[in-house]
């Protein structure tokens, strides 16, 4: 049991450094600190840019890439694991070379985190910014999301069912 745990730790750390995330350590700490202070965040993992004041909606996409952790707070290690696993899933599904393609290199994808008070879990997910409310709702329904988040106002908005589903 201990050997399996140590092997998993070794593989996670190795993948972390091989995929280039060690270079973004300061950005990861920014994301974790902001999340732990505010209960959520939307960041570009590569640049460290915080999208909190943008007049846009954060919508989680690729729900099977998301992961949850018990409690309100996350660690840099939690975030590192999410990033490495997301890269691995993406590259294995697309038959890509794990070390050649960094899923997070596209500015179309951001790291979104939020605390679900009802279940006492923190979620970290692949997030996309959408600037139109109706388009954000449509995208959220497409990915079976319950909520979207307006970055400028800080409001969580329940996703309305489509007219077809009412």
Taking the domains of the chain in order of start, what are their residue ranges?
2-165
Share above pLDDT 90 across residues of the chain, in percent, rounded to a whole number: 53
52-110 pLDDT, tens digit each: 999 999 999 988 888 999 999 999 999 988 988 887 777 666 655 444 456 676 657 89
Give the model's pLDDT for residue 163: 61
Residue of 19 and 74 predicted with greater confidence: 74
Closest CA to 63 of 117, 123, 105: 123
- Which single residue is written with the structure tokens 């388009």? 135
Q: Which residues of 124-161 are buried (b: 16+ CB within 10 A; e: fewer)?
A: bbbbbbbeeeeebbebbbebebeebbbbeeeeeeebee
CA atoms within 13 A on the CB side of 48: 11
Instruction: Name the least confident of 2-6, 41-45, 91-95, 122-126.
Output: 2-6
121-137 pLDDT, tens digit each: 999 999 999 999 999 99
Q: What is the pTM of this model?
A: 0.77
Q: Is 71 exposed, middle or buried (0-12, 13-18, 19+ CB in 10 A)?
A: exposed
- Is residue 161 classed as helix, strand or coil in its secondary structure? coil
- Which single residue is written with the structure tokens 């999340």? 35
């Amino acid at each position: 049991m201990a050997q399996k745990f140590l092997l998993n730790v070794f593989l996670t750390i190795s993948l972390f450094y091989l995929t280039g995330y060690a270079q973004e350590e300061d950005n990861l700490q920014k994301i974790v600190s902001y999340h732990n202070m505010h209960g959520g965040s939307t960041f570009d993992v590569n640049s460290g840019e915080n999208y909190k004041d943008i007049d846009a909606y954060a919508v989680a996409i690729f729900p099977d890439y998301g992961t949850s952790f018990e409690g309100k707070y996350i660690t840099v290690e939690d975030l590192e694991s999410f990033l490495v696993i997301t890269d691995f899933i993406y590259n294995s599904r697309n038959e890509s070379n794990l070390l050649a393609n960094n899923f997070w290199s596209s500015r179309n994808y951001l790291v979104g985190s939020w605390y679900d008070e009802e279940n006492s879990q923190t979620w970290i997910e692949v997030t996309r910014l959408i600037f139109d409310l109706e388009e954000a709702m449509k995208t959220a329904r497409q990915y079976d999301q319950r909520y979207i988040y307006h970055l400028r106002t800080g409001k969580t908005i329940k996703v309305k069912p489509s007219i077809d589903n009412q």
